[in-house]
Amino acid sequence: MNQRLTVILSVILGLLLMGIWLYIVDFDAMLVILKQVKILFIFPLGACFILIYFLRSLRWKIILSPVEKITITESFHLCMTNYFVNFLIPVHAGEVAKSYLLKKMKGTPISKSLWTVYLDKVSDLLPVFLLVVATPFLTKQINNAIYLASTILLLVLLFLIFSLMFFIHKKDKALSCSERIFFFLPGKFKIQLRNSMSLFLDGLSSIPRLSSRLLEITGLTLLALIVHSFFMWLFFYAFGISLPVLTVFVGYLLLNASFILPAPPGFAGSLELIFIFIFSYLYGYDKNIVSAVAASSHVVTAILFGLIGFWSIAHIGTKLSTVLKIESENRMSL
């Protein structure tokens, strides 16, 4: 019942956000702009898309190495299944499913791999430091909101890093804190939470073994950031807009960080509004052009996620319905 209510509410949220987006843009003007897009850009865009997630898959393979040795092909398909599910259900549902599918493929205990998924997500936020460094060099026309956004994101990243260090070095206190925070849960769920938290903390003991590969992890994160920024730049260029390097770089960092927020299925409406906030409100570009870029990038990424996601699910030897069922049944009972 709770699952159904969540789906219904998220769909309603998506429709509401789509309505807001369509209200604030000139739909006819946006359609005219969409007709001017250079279709041939779809090929370099597709190549960039695959390269981005190949680099992220390689990073997770390295992070996972103290726990399990897998091939880059296996890592790619597991990660793409994760990203596809997260695109469909933007509440990080794919993270749980990825650990379960790894167990299905390799027999790796979930308690040993779940922390690697957490660390992989933290790695995605590492470029926030670059956002903070870049902020003082932005032009004076940029709204002060970007300073506030960069500060908030930095605080989130520092909190995640601090939490990770706390979990590693203060296991007993971490367990005690989790019990106090969720004191309102029934006894059965408290036991499940403690067991899940204990297994997760045990897995974190493998992190020190990654210290020698920190440079590789950071390098792959930055390289993926560069390629993804170029991916965004190409979308704007396909509409005849050549964004300054710093603009597209900071714009992507803000867009990427926004994905930690709750969103409706498929990011319907939310992605378009975030694009408008970043590139129209903060940077001053025409909202109809920005909306055309956002809508086209949304469609292209949805198609690519769908095609590669279903291919990856088939390669793993399962079905999308099975993956969604795993996520639904086991997210609270790890």
Mean pLDDT for 127-141 is 62
Angle CA 147–150–154, to nearest 5? 140
Better-predicted residue by pLDDT, 115 or 286: 286
Nearest Cα neighbor of 201 from 115, 95, 320, 325 is 115
| Mean local confidence (pLDDT), 71-87 | 91
Contacts for 288 with CB less than 8 Å, ≥ 6 apart = 25, 26, 29, 30, 33
Reading the block at residue 68, the tokens are: 């399990």
Percentage of residues of the chain with pLDDT beyond 90: 23
Label residue 332 by pLDDT band (50, 70, 90): very low
The residues spanned by each domain of the chain are 2-330
Return the residue matching tokens 């409706």: 264
- Of residues 140 and 263, the one with the higher pLDDT is 263
Average pLDDT over residues 36-65: 91
* pTM, rounded to two decimals: 0.81
Short-list 114, 133, 149, CA closest to 222:
133
**In this model, does residue 27 exceed pLDDT 70?**
yes
In tens, the pLDDT along 275-322 reads 998 888 888 889 999 999 999 999 999 999 999 999 999 998 888 877
pLDDT above 70: residue 2: no
pLDDT band at 134 (very low <50, low <70, confident <90, very high): low
The reported pLDDT for the residue numbered 305 is 93
| Cα 232 from Cα 258, distance rounded (Å) | 15
pLDDT band at 7 (very low <50, low <70, confident <90, very high): low
Nearest to 229 by CA among 248, 242, 244, 243: 248
Is the pLDDT at 201 greater than 80? The verdict is no
| Residue 95 pLDDT exceeds 90 | no
Say if residue 331 is exposed, middle or buried (CB neighbours under 10 Å; 0-12, 13-18, 19+).
middle
CB 291 within 8 A of CB 21: yes
